């Protein structure tokens, strides 16, 4: 499995925070910070948007690093992705992501 597929199946290569980090694009960081702040109802600053991928070594956003319940669960279970977890079917932790994103669901099914 590609190292840039997150524990939840999302493709980190498509994430604007990762793109901004890789390209050192401060304008994209500002744009994404505003969008994510509006979507989540919390203040997200451009400085927070440094991430090289959920499962990749390197920088993570504060949310991805320590707050994402999906990542914390997968790390605790020592699985490569949620696709390796026997409890995937019916899992409430990752369920919202995979029910709303067919690509993420497909990425995890490749593991089965």
In a domain? residue 81: yes
In a domain? residue 74: yes
- pTM of model > 0.95: no
C-alpha 110/C-alpha 47 separation (Å) is 34
Tell me which residue range forms the domain holding 73: 12-109
In a domain? residue 98: yes
Q: Determine the pLDDT at residue 51.
A: 95
Q: Which residues contact 48 (CB under 8 A, 6 or more apart)?
A: 33, 61, 62
Give the mean model confidence (pLDDT) for residues 69-96: 95
In a domain? residue 3: no
Q: What is the pLDDT of residues 11-27, one digit of tens each?
A: 999 999 999 999 999 99
Number of domains comprising the chain: 1
């Amino acid at each position: 499995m590609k190292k840039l597929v997150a524990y939840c199946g999302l493709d980190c290569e498509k994430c604007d925070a990762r793109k901004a980090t890789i390209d050192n694009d401060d304008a994209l960081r500002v744009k994404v910070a505003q969008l994510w702040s509006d979507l989540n109802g919390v203040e997200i600053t451009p400085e927070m948007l440094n991430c090289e991928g959920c499962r990749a070594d390197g920088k993570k956003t504060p949310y991805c690093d320590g707050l994402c319940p999906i990542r914390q669960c997968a790390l605790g279970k020592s699985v490569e992705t949620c696709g390796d977890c026997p409890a995937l079917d019916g899992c409430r932790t990752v369920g919202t992501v995979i029910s709303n994103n067919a690509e993420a669901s497909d990425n995890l099914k490749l593991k089965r």
